[in-house]
């Protein structure tokens, strides 16, 4: 399936998924969604490296192809596990962000950290940070998007940080904080986050000052962001919550040029144009024999309780 096909399917899906902002979903459910996304990414890394870590509950399959056909990671349930979870302690993570530090700022009900995803027909292995780092040796894992993916990135960093000796990791940021770069030096592996809430260029691209009344999108402009993604081995994109407006201003031209053409356009159409630009860029610039890609669209709002952690 091409990324154009994916964009077309997303167009159909968003018509079904668009709901009012007041969903009334509890903050604990937000954390479960974040946890599921992370586990699916981790499980994919494990499986594609032929590690043989998925073990069926029933009769063991005779081949990896048979296992793939029997094990659907998306079909399962949440189970409470207070023996092997949580996978890390918030206070022990050197790089925990205050935006995500639930316990630090007074949250008492921490049982949400004990839920894990259980597929119906196979078992996910307990997360092993050393194994994951070995899989990521000499590679780049990159999260691209808004605060949802930033939370995913922080949690992934916390998951591996506990097994890295002091002094053998580093954290840097570039482009005024748009690009955050965690490196496990011994493994020459990086786990990165790039702030690009609409994927294409917009007037919300500043990682700090991005709250604007009139959101303007340059739907054909992506190179400014995408040049930072080109060589990544694993790309996890997300973009949806920042599109929840009836209309948006579309710019044809450059933000720096006085000759740009601005026009109000219905949000679904702008979203479609931006996804087409994004998918067209992937078709041309991403080597799919090397790079794994994931796209996360709809997620529960986290305006009332902003902290998400797993």
Q: Any idea what DSSP says for residue 127?
A: P
pLDDT tens digits, residue range 181-194? 999 999 999 999 99
- 222's CB contacts (< 8 A; 6+ apart) are 199, 200, 201, 277, 278, 281
How far apart, in Å, are the Cα atoms of 280 and each of 1, 151, 201, 229?
A: 13, 27, 15, 14
How far apart, in Å, are the Cα atoms of 143 and each of 8, 190, 201, 229?
A: 22, 11, 17, 9
Residue 70 and residue 66: Cα distance in Å, rounded?
6
Greater confidence (198 vs 207) lies with 198
Percent of the chain's residues with pLDDT above 70:
74
Contact 190, 171 (CB under 8 A): no
How far apart, in Å, are the Cα atoms of 81 and each of 120, 121, 201?
A: 16, 18, 42
Residue 29 and residue 308: Cα distance in Å, rounded?
10
Tokens of 180: 């955050």
pLDDT tens digits, residue range 23-38? 333 344 445 555 555 6
3-state secondary structure of 130: helix
pLDDT at 198 over 60: yes
Q: Determine phi and psi for 129, rounding to 5 degrees.
A: -65, -35
Closest CA to 89 of 78, 104, 79: 104
Q: Determine phi and psi for 4, rounding to 5 degrees.
A: -65, -40
DSSP string of 83-99?
Answer: TT--SS-GGG-TT--GG
Q: Is 50 exposed, middle or buried (0-12, 13-18, 19+ CB in 10 A)?
A: exposed
pLDDT tens digits, residue range 51-106? 434 433 433 434 445 545 678 888 999 999 988 888 888 888 888 887 777 888 88
How wide is the angle at C-alpha 118 spanned by C-alphas 114 and 238, nearest 5°? 80
Q: How large is the average pLDDT for residues 126-155?
A: 94
Q: Determine phi and psi for 148, rounding to 5 degrees.
A: -60, -50
Residue 167 and residue 220: Cα distance in Å, rounded?
42
């Amino acid at each position: 399936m091409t990324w154009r096909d994916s964009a077309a399917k997303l167009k159909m899906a968003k018509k079904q998924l668009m709901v009012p902002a007041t969903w009334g979903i509890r903050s604990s459910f937000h954390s479960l969604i974040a946890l599921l996304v992370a586990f699916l990414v981790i499980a994919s890394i494990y499986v594609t490296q032929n590690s043989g870590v998925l073990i069926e509950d029933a009769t063991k399959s005779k081949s990896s192809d048979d296992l793939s056909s029997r094990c659907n990671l998306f079909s399962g349930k949440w189970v409470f596990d207070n023996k092997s979870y949580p996978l890390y302690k918030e206070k022990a993570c050197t790089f925990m962000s205050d935006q995500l530090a639930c316990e630090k700022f007074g949250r008492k009900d921490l049982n949400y950290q004990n839920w894990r995803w259980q597929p119906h027909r196979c078992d996910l292995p307990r997360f092993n940070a050393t194994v994951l780092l070995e899989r990521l040796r000499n590679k780049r894992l990159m999260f691209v998007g808004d605060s949802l993916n930033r939370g995913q990135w922080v949690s992934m960093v916390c998951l591996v940080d506990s097994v890295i000796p002091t002094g053998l990791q580093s954290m840097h940021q570039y482009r005024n904080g748009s690009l955050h770069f965690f490196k496990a030096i011994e493994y020459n592996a990086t786990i990165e986050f790039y702030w690009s809430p609409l994927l294409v260029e917009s007037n919300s691209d500043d990682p700090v000052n991005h709250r604007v009344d009139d959101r303007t999108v340059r739907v054909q402009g992506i190179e400014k962001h995408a040049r930072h993604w080109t060589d990544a081995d694993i790309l996890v994109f997300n973009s949806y919550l920042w599109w929840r407006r009836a209309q948006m201003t579309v710019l044809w031209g450059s933000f720096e040029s006085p000759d740009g053409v601005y026009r109000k356009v219905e949000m679904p159409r702008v979203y479609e144009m931006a996804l087409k630009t994004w998918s067209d860029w992937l078709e041309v610039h991403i080597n799919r024999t090397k790079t794994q890609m994931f796209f996360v669209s709809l997620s529960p709002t986290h305006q009332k309780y902003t902290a998400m952690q797993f």
